[in-house]
Structure 1
Amino acid sequence: MNDTMYFNIILIILGAFPTCAQRSHEFCLAYGCFDSSDTQLSVTLDGEEIFFADFKKGDLVWDSRIPTSIHMSEAYGYAKYYRTLCNHDLIYFKKDKSEVVTIKEAPEVTIYPKEEVIMEEENTLICFVKHYFPPSIKIKWTKNDVEVTSEDPFIKSLTNIDGTFYVISTLGFIPNEGDIYTCTVDCEMMDEPQTKFWEVDGSMYTAKTPDGPTIYFGFATFFGLVGVAAGTFFYVKAQQSDS
């Protein structure tokens, strides 16, 4: 990824999230390839994912907060370049197996709601899986012992400073009293799958109100549009400066 592309993406993100301009930031491109699976590539800002490459579908998956109007189509071309580079490096380093160090780390798993739970409304559960290596892992969600979804989050895994990985899996749900949700993680580093439980307890959560969520959504939409406008402005200014 060349300097111009880095510069444009940084301006777009800082413009879409104006508070970012108030401090220094860490912009990171991470990629890796493995014998057991495809290449992984992601771009983050201060640990928050901007996009990751889905090489099976031949496209980039952008964070929902990044306006679609300023997605950079040429970014996937750079992602393919790094996949080729990584596979060449993998072949080179495999020649001398004495230098290959195999380190395996079992993950830590936590389950929690994304925000304060509101009864009778759509909410989101988060299963945060961290500190694992290699990035070969399975995540399964259940509701009252019935599987509702499962995924192989390889392409969404992000790197920690120590070389291990972390990933966030989400599940949308409408809470009903007594419902029990589980997130089960399985990988080769574990003797057996690890399961975390989360139960709906209506006495602990907020009841649905007729006006609150609507008003909140209105403000959220307004400020979101302001962020998009600022992001577009910075991007256009950058293009004009280059010309």
Structure 2
Amino acid sequence: MGAASGRGALVAALLGAALGSVRAEPSPHTLAEVLFCQPDTPSQGLAVAFDAEQLFSFDFPSSQWLPRLPDGPAWPADTEQPHELQHDAALCRDLRDLLTKIATGPLPMPEAKGIPVADVFLQQPLQLGHPNTLICMVGNIFPPAITISWQRNSIPVTDGVTHVTYTPTEDLAFMRFSYLAVTPRSGDIYACIVTRERDNISVVAYWVPQDPVPTDTLATAVCGAVTALGILLALLGLGLLVSSCRRG
């Protein structure tokens, strides 16, 4: 009862904060807490998400709650203590082992729902030569067992990489984010490689910095185009005038 009442208080607090400014016209929202255990790696995981945006995850090896962002608020101290979650995880593992024994053979691993979908984009507007962050967003993940790696110009990159744990989605799948600190330069080719080791499937999403046209260059080009169009229209009008005079 203590865990349930604590979870209810957390739900009320989160929903109150999110919907406080729109109480007159409420819209549907989803607060999900998903615990999984599986034969794949990671063998277990837990995440709390609000409208598919991860708020917290639980790190089982260190037995602690982690906020989605490093500077995010801490998990409420009186809600779902680590020992309660370790008990739930143990129950999940016991249930998995029991079902495996009941089955005629080893319990089949969860069927893959589909090919993961990856997209890569910049966190901030592009400025060549300035530090930025590449984000690799991977969706349509099931089961939650993939690895994400980065390459720059076909060379593996490990420095500046930050992976986020799995986030549950409303379609009973998962999504995951990976971040890479970069300094974009012309000619670079970045690749986010998503691998599902169970069936050796890999998906690659590329990102190439596109040097934006400088504002003054763009303004000059637009001005030149407008001037040329004006001259063309003036010549067309003069031609029509001469043609009309000849007919008269």
Structure 1-normalised TM-score? 0.70
Q: Give, in whole Å, the separation in 2 of the partners of 1:23 and 1:177.
A: 44
Q: Residue 124 of structure 1 corresponds to which residue in structure 2?
A: 133
TM-superposed CA distance for 1:143, in Å, is 1.7
TM-superposed CA distance for 1:159, in Å, is 2.5
Q: Give, in whole Å, the separation in 1 of the partners of 2:70 and 2:19.
A: 9
2:51 pairs with 46, 49, 62, which one? 46
Structure ID, larger Rg: 2
2:176 paired with 1:183: no
Say whether the 8 Å CA contact 1:16–1:66 is kept in structure 2: no
Say whether the 8 Å CA contact 2:38–2:44 is kept in structure 1: yes
2:78 paired with 1:78: no
1:50-199 alignment runs, 5 A limit: 50-64=55-69, 67-68=72-73, 70-74=74-78, 75=80, 76-97=82-103, 102-104=110-112, 105-149=114-158, 156-188=165-197, 190-199=199-208
Q: Give, in whole Å, the separation in 1 of the partners of 2:95 and 2:214.
A: 52
TM-superposed CA distance for 1:107, in Å, is 1.2
Q: Give, in whole Å, the separation in 2 of the partners of 1:160 and 1:71.
A: 21
Say whether the 8 Å CA contact 1:157–1:165 is kept in structure 2: yes
Residue 72 of structure 1 aligns to a residue whose secondary structure is coil
- Cα separation, partners in 2 of 1:143 and 1:44, compared to 1, 3 Å: same
- Across the aligned residues of Structure 1 and Structure 2, the Cα RMSD in angstroms comes to 3.2
TM-superposed CA distance for 1:34, in Å, is 0.9
Aligned length: 205
Which amino acid letter does the alignment assign opposite residue 110 of structure 1? D
Q: Give, in whole Å, the separation in 1 of the partners of 2:162 and 2:133.
A: 19
Q: Give, in whole Å, the separation in 2 of the partners of 1:158 and 1:109.
A: 15
Q: Give, in whole Å, the separation in 1 of the partners of 2:171 and 2:140.
A: 9
Percent identical across equivalent pairs?
Answer: 21
Which amino acid letter does the alignment assign opposite residue 8 of structure 1? L
Structure 2-normalised TM-score? 0.69
Which amino acid letter does the alignment assign opposite residue 89 of structure 1? L
Structure 2: segments with no counterpart, 5+ residues: 216-248
